[in-house]
Amino acid sequence: MRKILFGVIITLIVLFTFKYCGDKKEEQIILKENSALIQEQLKNVSKLVVTEGHFSEVFSYENSKLIFGDLFEAEKKALVVVNADVAVSYDLSKLQYNVDETTKTLQILSIPEEEIKISPDFEYYDIQADYLNPFEAKDYNDIKKTVRQQLMKKIEASDLKSNAQNRLLSELSKFFILTNSLGWKLKYNETPVESVDALKSMDIKF
């Protein structure tokens, strides 16, 4: 009787051991699969053009040059109309992150700064230049540089960049939805992200 009871106990121990090992192995497989899924999702994120806009600028260019000392002043001027398409994008392939399988945590470490692309179309009107002070390549380069500076001021004063950041945060919220569905946690630097709204209200440093 004792031998039978001892045999039953040994059999149960073996069965529980196999079941425990099987459960642990299955848990490890699921963990690896979830980690691979998260990393694949991160790798699939490419440059994201989040916002586009159009700006116009009218610019008056003037330049004078003294000839023969102070005896004669040669002037040149032009009216420049600029229509520019602007795109704000984030290269999320440069996103820095850490995937920790031990704590089941996706930690976003750094978000790349936005890239602003300005595609201007220049139209020149009323070009007036003296024979002794003609328009040169330097003049056109100075015009382009000045116009870009003025357009950047317009962009900063507009809601283009804030709209772009909102679109970016919406994209990042997909990582919260994914990690949350898998039973993982999402952190931005050292701050846990508890909800999509919490992520959108965070002070993201670029």
- Residue 40 has a CB neighbour count (10 Å cut-off) of 9
Question: Which value, to the nearest 10 degrees, does the dihedral of the CA atoms of residues 16, 22, 23, 26 take?
Answer: 180
* Within-domain flag for 206: no
pLDDT of the residue at 23: 44
* pLDDT, tens digit, 9 for 90 and up, residues 102-140: 898 999 998 888 999 999 999 988 888 777 778 889 988
167-191: per-residue pLDDT in tens? Answer: 888 888 888 888 888 888 999 888 8
Residues 7 and 64 in one domain: no
For the whole model, what pTM was predicted?
Answer: 0.70
Residue 84 forms part of a structural domain: yes
Say if 182 falls within a structural domain. yes
Indicate the residue type of 39.
Q
